[in-house]
Amino acid sequence: MRFSIIVPTYNRKNLLRCCLAATTNQDYPDFEVIVVD
Protein backbone atom coordinates (compact mmCIF):
# COMPACT_ATOMS: atom_id res chain seq x y z
CA MET A 1 0.00 0.00 0.00
CA ARG A 2 1.47 3.34 -1.06
CA PHE A 3 0.73 6.51 0.86
CA SER A 4 1.53 10.20 0.57
CA ILE A 5 2.81 12.66 3.14
CA ILE A 6 1.75 16.22 2.33
CA VAL A 7 3.75 18.98 4.02
CA PRO A 8 2.39 22.54 3.74
CA THR A 9 5.06 25.15 4.46
CA TYR A 10 5.79 28.85 4.14
CA ASN A 11 9.21 30.40 4.87
CA ARG A 12 10.27 27.55 7.17
CA LYS A 13 13.49 26.30 5.58
CA ASN A 14 15.02 24.98 8.81
CA LEU A 15 11.86 23.20 9.94
CA LEU A 16 11.32 21.76 6.47
CA ARG A 17 14.81 20.28 6.45
CA CYS A 18 14.14 18.58 9.79
CA CYS A 19 10.73 17.35 8.65
CA LEU A 20 12.10 15.86 5.43
CA ALA A 21 14.92 14.16 7.31
CA ALA A 22 12.39 12.57 9.66
CA THR A 23 10.15 11.37 6.82
CA THR A 24 12.99 9.86 4.79
CA ASN A 25 14.17 7.89 7.84
CA GLN A 26 10.92 5.89 7.96
CA ASP A 27 11.07 2.10 7.77
CA TYR A 28 8.15 1.83 5.36
CA PRO A 29 9.57 2.04 1.81
CA ASP A 30 6.52 2.84 -0.33
CA PHE A 31 5.60 6.47 0.22
CA GLU A 32 5.96 9.86 -1.39
CA VAL A 33 6.47 13.29 0.16
CA ILE A 34 4.71 16.27 -1.39
CA VAL A 35 5.85 19.71 -0.22
CA VAL A 36 3.47 22.60 -0.87
CA ASP A 37 4.86 26.10 -0.52
pTM of the model: 0.75
Per-residue confidence (pLDDT) for residue 6, from 0 to 100:
96
Per-residue confidence (pLDDT) for residue 22, from 0 to 100:
94
Per-residue confidence (pLDDT) for residue 15, from 0 to 100:
93
Place 36 in a pLDDT band, splitting at 50, 70 and 90: very high
32 Cβ partners below 8 Å, 6+ apart? 2, 3, 4, 5
For 11-27, letters b (16+ CB in 10 Å) and e give eeeeeeeebeeeeeeee
Place 16 in a pLDDT band, splitting at 50, 70 and 90: very high
